Amino acid sequence: MFYDRSTHSTLALLVAMLGMGCSVASVDDDASGGRTQVAEKPRPRCITPSEGRRAISKNPKECPHIFFVCAPGETPFLDACGCGCERR
């Protein structure tokens, strides 16, 4: 068998990679259960409040927990940018 330093270091690297859970040459990671990176959901672009629209909260996760009443002539809104009241 042919033996030199490059063969030894290559084998050591492969053993280290396999020991860490890295696959050597995985073309199809999804089928083999490999790790997949998932991007976060893109945040919606929230425009500045337009005239006739006032925000109560700019955090949509808080909105279901906030009790607010809009003035006469206004309707409540709830979207990805928050919640508040807007004129009809």
pLDDT digits (tens, 9 = 90+) for 22-74: 454 545 545 556 677 776 767 667 766 667 889 999 999 999 999 999 999 99
Q: What is the pTM of this model?
A: 0.47
What's the CA gap between 44 and 32, in Å, rounded? 34
pLDDT of residue 51: 74
pLDDT-derived band at 17, boundaries 50, 70, 90: low
CB of 81 closer than 8 Å to CB of 60:
yes
CA 73 and chain centroid, separation: 38
Query: In terms of pLDDT, which residue wins out, 3 or 60?
Result: 60
As a whole number, mean pLDDT of residues 73-88 equals 93
Helices H / strands E in the chain, number of each = 2, 3
What's the CA gap between 43 and 35, in Å, rounded? 24
